[in-house]
Amino acid sequence: MLRVRLTPAEWAELTAIADAAGFTVSDLVRRRALGRPVLATADAALIRELRRQGGLIKHVYETGGAHTATAAQALRAIVGAIEHLSRGPS
Residue 20 — very low, low, confident or very high, per pLDDT cuts 50/70/90? confident
- Same domain? 45 vs 76: yes
- Same domain? 12 vs 1: yes
Please give the pLDDT value at position 90: 47
Please give the pLDDT value at position 11: 95
Number of domains in the chain: 2
Please give the pLDDT value at position 89: 56
Whether pLDDT at 32 is above 80: yes
Whether pLDDT at 38 is above 80: no
| Domain ranges, residue 22 | 1-38
> Rounded to the nearest 10 degrees, how much is the dihedral formed by the CA atoms of 14, 19, 25, 29?
-70
Contact assessment for residue 41 and residue 21, using Cβ atoms and an 8 Å cutoff = yes
- In degrees and rounded to multiples of 5, residue 24 shows phi and psi of -80, 165
3-state secondary structure 29-84: HHHHHCCCCCCCHHHHHHHHHHHHHHHHHHHHHHCCCCCHHHHHHHHHHHHHHHHH
- Same domain? 47 vs 89: yes
- Same domain? 50 vs 89: yes
Whether pLDDT at 1 is above 60: yes
